[in-house]
């Protein structure tokens, strides 16, 4: 399928509203014929076969490099599949291999139930796009939907039916390693990205050969661990749970997501995989979710370590009755629950209901029609030119220009020699970032390669790594100084290696690691024009760089087209338009610092000692949420709102004129924030409620209209009721501000 045709089919309206305004998606079809087949299967299955369908295990053993071990593991795995003891596999790749596994289930097992094959396709399959945090920096849901569509096409062509994405956890502590996998700190932006990725992965028809079932994870509040330490305790108010962490999941459900994944963490004393409140009361009874829930890797049996379950049998019982339908990687369901049913401690109807949900998704995905993959498709679509072109577009749209003093960027045509300095400048692995699926380092365009290709023969480009990313070796700095003095300009490429963020990779400090800060100081001391390009999986605390290096471009981990995308921006072929999806602190000790914070009774004042601030660093962030520069300039004018007084069931229309007052065409993200001035519980100082990204030509003025549902301005009160309270609101769009009122 040509990418142009795919993208044409994805023509959807720009998401510019709060999650409450997303249209309800159709639920999984409950066609009588399908329901009858499900009923017949359940009636014919033994208890052990039912629990087998609720079990997912690792499926790549047969790809071991040792042929003897390979055959043994393959035989064991195929035997389990034929016996009906496995309903899903993860980690299996490649059409031929997955077809072999599927044949054992669909043709050689007693009930001919296909296996659903899942993988972590987080930000691309083989064509690797920017990490999701970078994707969120585009503030462009349409573009992210296109990216996810490409990921689905490639993954499906290689035998994957189900992706463990999107991760929609809200994170306000960038020490947490998995901040890289989400959309940042804000529930409105996070919800928009969740919807875009669900739609992209699942397409218009789940039965289509190029669609995969999406899985919103990690349900819920996994992004708020104490100390930013992965898997740690989460202790938050119920209001924060419902108003901040749940909305992106609800948006994914409304978008028709097929599955959710329960989380590792506990939520106020109850592990996510054992929380009947979140898994059943909220998810199914209130939201009407009718897909199935899979646990995260061994999170069911880890409830023993939490101190919430006595043993594996107890863990399995609590998880299944709470609402986890499928167990990933551990085997308490398959091994322990039969005895509990026989002893009368577990009603088999609970097993049947979980099984029904799993089978319904398999039918919806078309697996009972044709579970096989045509091996020829992968050769045509995987890492094809059209996919790489889109990867470049997403990557350059994700780049955030943080500083551009003296117009050091874009690089002037008068520059004839460039020193590309830094340990990440010629790295091929690190731009892929965390969870890069089956992406290959040798397919990455490095920053150095991108600069050299764009600079051409008339510009001398020399490179010195100078130091390690995080080690103490700085023996290359003297050579870097020599090369810098002999060059017209310095491009510093600094940041984090790919293994410094992601699952299990939390950091206690988020400053530049190793000797990189010293390298930046030395390069700045040469007196040459310096631009810092920062590759990282999280926000970094870079106060000296932010205040002393003239040009700072934040690139995240941008994927296979890393170097080309960065060169596009450095040389001015693409006007940077990325905006931060998460706040950048001045120091690790400021964390958490985020846009939608509360004001307190003593808000910070510079000259008042007894107010909420620090004595050693400003309370303000280095760079706020939503920030990002351009090579052009924009002016906001004539802000208006209608009506100025609206009912709780009404809609607010905010209109503003945005003019491009510079010499270059550019994209601007028009962001609307509100503050509820007085509430029955305190409200944040600012909340994002709507946004829209617009392209504006030089000298052009566009009128941007944002519609905001009054219902989206509500919150959960002390009694945990969702309310839209009457009162005055202040709102901002750009540097314009106004007021409106919600009436009784």
Q: Could you report the per-residue pLDDT of 533-547, keeping only the tens digit for each?
A: 999 999 999 999 999
Q: Is the pLDDT of residue 548 over 80?
A: yes
**Which helix (H) or strand (E) covers residue 335, if one does?**
helix 332-342
CA dist., res. 251 & res. 289, Å (int): 11
- DSSP result, 402-441: EEEGGG--SPPTT--EEEEESTTTT-SSGGG-S--TT--G
Long-range contacts made by residues 404-409, C-beta under 8 angstroms, separation at least 24? 404/550, 404/551, 404/552, 404/629, 404/631, 405/550, 405/551, 406/550, 408/529, 408/530, 408/531, 408/550, 408/551, 409/531, 409/551, 409/553, 409/569, 409/570, 409/572, 409/631
* pLDDT of 277 strictly over 80: yes
Give pLDDT, residue 623.
98
pLDDT attached to residue 11: 31
Residues in CB range of 182: below 8 A, 6 or more apart: 132, 133, 136, 167, 168, 169, 170, 171, 190, 223
Q: Say what the pLDDT of residue 60 is.
A: 82
Does pLDDT of 22 surpass 80?
Answer: no
Cβ-contact 661, 634 below 8 angstroms: yes
| pLDDT given for residue 416 in this prediction | 98
Residue among 48, 176, 259 nearest 594 (CA): 176
347 is catalytic: no
Using CA atoms, how far apart are residues 284 and 439, in angstroms rounded to an integer? Answer: 36
CATH superfamily, domain 3-8+34-39+47-378, is Glycoside hydrolase, family 3, N-terminal domain (3.20.20.300)
Rounded to 5°, angle at Cα 484 from 479 and 485: 105
pLDDT band per the 50, 70, 90 thresholds, residue 506 = very high
Task: Kindly report, residue by residue over 352-366, the tens digit of the pLDDT.
Answer: 999 999 999 999 999
pLDDT tens digits, 650-681: 999 999 999 999 999 999 999 999 999 999 99
Ramachandran bin of 118, using left for φ above 0, alpha for ψ from -120 to 50, beta for the remaining angles:
beta
Residue 154 sits at the vertex; the CA angle it makes with 152 and 160, to the nearest 5 degrees, is: 70
Q: How confident is the model at residue 18 (pLDDT cuts 50, 70, 90)?
A: very low
Task: Return the percentage of the chain with pLDDT > 70, whole number.
Answer: 94
pLDDT band at residue 443 under the 50/70/90 scheme: very high
pLDDT digits (tens, 9 = 90+) for 44-54: 999 999 999 99
Length of the chain: 744
Tell me if 660 sits within 8 A of 698, measured CB to CB. yes
Output the pTM of the full model.
0.95
pLDDT value for 30:
81
Preceding amide of 515 cis, omega within 30: no
- Provide the pLDDT confidence category of residue 187 given band limits of 50, 70 and 90: very high
Condensed to tens digits (0 to 9), the pLDDT of residues 549-577 reads 999 999 999 999 999 999 999 999 999 99
For residue 72, the model assigns a pLDDT of 61
Q: Is the pLDDT of residue 687 over 80?
A: yes
Q: Which of these ranges, 6-10, 210-214, 322-326, 371-375, has the smallest mean pLDDT? A: 6-10
Task: Tell me, rounded to whole angstroms, the distance of Cα 725 from its chain centroid.
Answer: 32
Lowest mean pLDDT among 4-13, 106-115, 403-412: 4-13
With residue 3 as reference, give the H or E element that holds it: helix 3-9
- The mean predicted confidence, pLDDT, of the chain is 94
Confidence at residue 74, expressed as pLDDT on a 0 to 100 scale: 81
pLDDT of 314 above 90: yes
pLDDT by residue (tens digit) across 102-135? Answer: 999 999 999 999 999 999 999 999 999 999 999 9
For the segment 687-692, the average pLDDT, to the nearest whole number, is: 98
Under the banding of pLDDT at 50, 70 and 90, the label for residue 25 is very low
Domain 634-742 top-level CATH class: mainly beta
Same topology for domains 3-8+34-39+47-378 and 395-590, yes or no?
Answer: no
Selected catalytic residue, list 173, 186, 296, 676 = 296
Domain assignments of the chain as residue spans, ordered by start:
3-8+34-39+47-378, 395-590, 634-742
Residue 437 above 60 pLDDT? yes
Tell me whether strands 551-554 and 530-535 are parallel, antiparallel or unpaired: parallel
Task: Give the pLDDT score at 133.
Answer: 99
Residue with the bigger pLDDT between 295 and 22: it is 295
Phi, psi of 281 (to 5 degrees): -60, -50
Whether 21 has a pLDDT exceeding 60, the answer reads no
**CATH number given to 395-590:** 3.40.50.1700
Are the beta carbons of 394 and 135 closer than 8 angstroms?
A: yes
State the average pLDDT over residues 434-449.
98
> 9: pLDDT confidence band, cut at 50, 70 and 90?
very low
């Amino acid at each position: 399928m040509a990418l142009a045709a795919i993208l044409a089919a994805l023509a959807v309206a720009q998401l510019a509203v709060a999650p409450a305004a997303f249209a309800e998606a159709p639920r999984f079809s409950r066609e009588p014929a399908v329901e009858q087949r499900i009923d017949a299967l359940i009636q014919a299955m033994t208890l052990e076969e039912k629990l087998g369908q609720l079990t997912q295990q690792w499926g790549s053993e047969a790809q071991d490099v040792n042929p003897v071990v390979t055959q043994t593991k393959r035989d064991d795995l195929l035997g389990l599949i034929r016996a009906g003891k496995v309903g899903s596999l993860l980690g299996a790749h490649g059409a031929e291999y997955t077809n072999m596994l599927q044949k054992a289930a669909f043709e050689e097992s007693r009930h001919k139930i296909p296996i659903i094959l899942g993988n972590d396709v987080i930000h691309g399959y083989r064509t690797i796009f920017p990490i999701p945090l970078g994707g969120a920096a585009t503030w462009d849901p349409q573009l992210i939907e296109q990216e996810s569509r490409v990921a689905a096409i490639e993954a499906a062509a290689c035998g994957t039916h189900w992706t463990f994405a999107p991760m929609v956890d809200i994170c306000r502590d960038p020490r947490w390693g998995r901040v890289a996998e989400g959309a940042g700190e804000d529930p409105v932006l996070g919800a928009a990205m969740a919807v875009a990725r669900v739609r992209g992965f699942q397409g218009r028809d789940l039965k289509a050969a190029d669609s995969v079932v999406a899985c919103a994870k990690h349900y819920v509040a996994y992004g708020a661990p104490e100390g930013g330490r992965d898997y740690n305790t989460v202790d938050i108010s119920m209001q924060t749970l419902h108003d901040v962490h749940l909305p992106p999941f609800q948006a994914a459900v409304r978008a028709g997501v097929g599955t959710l994944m329960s989380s590792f963490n506990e939520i106020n004393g109850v592990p996510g995989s054992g929380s009947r409140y979140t898994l059943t009361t909220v998810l199914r009874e209130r939201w009407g979710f009718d897909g199935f829930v899979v646990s995260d890797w061994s999170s069911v049996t880890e409830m023993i370590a939490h101190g919430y379950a006595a043993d594996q049998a107890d863990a399995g019982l609590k998880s299944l009755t709470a609402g986890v339908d499928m167990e990933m990687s551990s085997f308490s369901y398959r091994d322990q629950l039969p005895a509990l049913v026989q002893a009368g401690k577990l009603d088999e109807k609970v097993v049947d209901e979980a099984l029904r949900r799993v089978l319904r998704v398999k039918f919806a995905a078309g697996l009972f029609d044709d579970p096989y993959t045509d091996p020829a498709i992968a050769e045509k679509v995987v890492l094809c030119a059209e996919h790489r072109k889109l990867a470049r577009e997403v990557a350059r749209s994700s780049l955030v220009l943080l500083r551009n003093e003296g117009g050091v960027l874009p690089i002037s045509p008068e520059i004839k020699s460039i020193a590309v300095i830094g340990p990440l400048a010629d790295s091929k692995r690190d731009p892929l970032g965390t969870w890069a699926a089956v992406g290959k380092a040798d397919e990455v365009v490095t920053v150095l390669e991108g600069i050299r290709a764009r600079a051409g023969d008339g510009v001398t480009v020399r490179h010195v790594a100078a130091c390690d990313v995080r080690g103490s070796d700085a023996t290359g700095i003297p050579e870097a100084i020599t090369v810098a003095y002999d060059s017209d300009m310095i491009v510093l490429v600094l940041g984090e290696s790919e293994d410094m963020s992601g699952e299990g990779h939390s950091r206690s400090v988020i400053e530049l690691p190793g000797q990189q800060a010293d390298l930046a100081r030395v390069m700045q001391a040469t007196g040459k024009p310096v631009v810092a390009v920062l590759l990282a999986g999280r926000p970094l605390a870079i106060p000296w760089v932010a205040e002393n290096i003239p040009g700072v471009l934040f690139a995240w981990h941008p994927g296979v087209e890393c170097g080309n995308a960065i060169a596009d921006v450095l040389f001015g072929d693409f006007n940077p338009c990325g905006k931060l999806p998460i706040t950048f602190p001045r120091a690790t000790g400021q964390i958490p610092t985020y846009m939608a914070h509360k004001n307190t009774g003593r808000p910070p004042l510079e000259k008042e000692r007894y107010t909420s601030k620090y004595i050693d660093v400003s309370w303000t962030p280095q760079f706020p949420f939503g920030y990002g520069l351009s090579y052009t300039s924009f002016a906001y004018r004539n802000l208006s709102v209608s009506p100025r007084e609206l009912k709780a069931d009404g809609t607010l229309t905010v209109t503003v004129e945005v003019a491009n007052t510079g010499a270059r065409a550019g994209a601007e993200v028009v962001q609307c924030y509100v503050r509820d001035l007085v509430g029955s519980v305190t409200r944040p100082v600012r909340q994002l409620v709507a946004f829209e990204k617009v392209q504006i030509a030089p000298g052009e003025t566009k009128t941007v209209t944002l519609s905001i549902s009054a219902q989206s301005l509500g919150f959960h009160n002390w009694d945990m009721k969702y309310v839209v309270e009457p009162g005055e609101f202040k709102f901002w769009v750009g540097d314009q501000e106004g007021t409106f009122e919600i009436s009784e």
